Amino acid sequence: MPVIGWIIVLLSFALIIGSLLLLRDSANMRIPPEKLEKIRRRKAELDAQEKDEND
């Protein structure tokens, strides 16, 4: 395989590994409690609306 082929293969592996590491680091982000409470309230509202629509 020519040298340019090996360079492309190595760069693609580096890109994949870098993306996986970035994804792993971003998975540990914490949601602030006030935002989490807002999400829960919105979910409860949507569940109530769906229940009313189904009845």
Q: What is the pLDDT of residues 17-41, one digit of tens each?
A: 999 999 998 887 788 899 999 999 9
Q: Which amino acid type is present at position 44?
A: A
Residue 51: per-residue pLDDT = 87
* Torsion sign, CA atoms 17, 19, 22, 24: negative
- The model's confidence at residue 2, banded by pLDDT at 50, 70 and 90, is very high
31: number of Cβ within 10 Å: 10
Q: Which amino acid type is present at position 46?
A: L
Residue 28: per-residue pLDDT = 77
Query: In the chain, how long is the greatest CA-to-CA distance?
Result: 68
Average pLDDT of the chain, as a whole number: 92
Q: What's the whole-number mean pLDDT along residues 7-21?
A: 97
